[in-house]
Chain A
Amino acid sequence: MVAHRRRNWKQAISRFLLLDLLKGMIVTFKWQAPSKCYTVQYPKVRPRIGERFRGAPRLNRDPETGESLCIACNLCAVACPENLITVTEEVREYLDEASGKVKKKRFLADYLYDTSRCMFCGYCQDVCPTYAIELTQEFELAIYRRRAFAWTWEMLENGIDQPVYTR
């Protein structure tokens, strides 16, 4: 490393002329140009979020039929380190259109996702076989009531109401 204790005449002169201070001042002066501003005016301008961002959870629906993609396999609940996902299943009879027979199948009855304990590790979306549970790019999760941190099935599908900034 550099030996900084020894001082030569060059340093002495630079100290006499206050050059060490002036150099720093020039750097700070240079950055004042408005073109070098880094601020993003957040509520007005939305930041670009990475594609893989792990934000608010969402339970996806089949875009064609509008039914939930979740098959109530409970893998996400098992994969969650914090055990915050509660999947309730029910076995229902349904008419299989291909064969015309009445069959039994597991359906999703309720899905509870406690965002107050979530660490957004992404293990649930990693294990999901049908890409039903997904962590989206939505990052505004502040809520006024503590109870509302537990996201119900409906909230997971539709998202929560976010304040809209007009100005």
Chain B
Amino acid sequence: MTAVDEAVWGTAAPSVGALERELARLRHAAGAHAREQGHTVARAAVLNVVVYAERGVHAERAARGIVRLAQRHPSRAIVVWRDRDPGGPPADLDLRCRIPRVDDRAGVCRCEQILVRVRDDDDARLRSVVIPLLVPDLPVFLWWTDSPPPRARRFDDLVALADRLVVDSADFARPAETLAHLARLVGRGDGGRIAITDLNWTRLTPWRELVAQFFDVEAWRPFLDATIGVGVGFGVDMDGRDIHPSQALLLVGWLTSRLGWRPAESLAPAEAGGLLFRMTRADGTPLAVRVRPRFERGVAPGDTTGFRLRCRRRGEVAEFVLKRAPDERHVTATVLLDGRVRSLRVVPLPAPAVEDLMAEELTIAGFDHVYEAALHALLALA
């Protein structure tokens, strides 16, 4: 078996019971220090986070992220690492725990980190380890760092334990298929459906806000119903090999569902990696939606680079344009009427780390119906 980094994962425990005893000992030790300074000690936890990872780097990255996250959302974090390395974990499982130091406030234990490392040969085992480790009565967030697999026991078992599934569609190896899988998951309608958070959707929030703001202006609102074309750009690396159009697709799905467009056909455009959809508006008028890969220095592959909505109403052409500024940290929002600039403003575009996106999403408890509708719209496009 290969060893794991004890500085990250803490000491090994032979059983779940032993692990809980070790955590109690660690809390007490932390408490002794706090008591010297006259503080009382409290364990703070507002949620259980179960992380699923198949690669060591993902597991470690998630563990670090959760420690940062604990400042805003104290938690018990259970990292399930399904180690594919044949020389990896011991035959049954490797359990470890640690209480990372979250901030300088003595006397509050804000994060308990547990590692559950298993071989990839027996998925049936996972559930039985995770259930006793969950803090009762707190919501369970399942953070799946990989592409959610269709028809896999490990996924279904853990999803069944969770109140909310967190994924990042930016990392999906096959975006179209996996997004469709997610859409079916939220649409099960058997009462057992799960709330889904897609961190890539959270990245889109500022873009959605800016698009929506155009149409808070009464004079521009009617153009929204007269759209004739949409263009969305997404970042690719220099050689254009890594194609991750999930974010762009979600933006298209969002517009399609909000505006009641109906997909007519999906065409392969001339450009490699691009997508072209023909749709019809609610009033039957056709429109074209183009999704294009763009190489722009500094833009992470998959991130939106720009957005353009073209509308024609009573002979007047309006264009609503969002463009990532060359410095990456701003967006220019422009409105053109018959080619003349009517409004131009520059607004900041945050570039949050994954933990910041998580922190934002953990404040939301219920279902995100707008996201679910966007997913369903994509299902119809595929």
The answer on A and B forming one complex is no
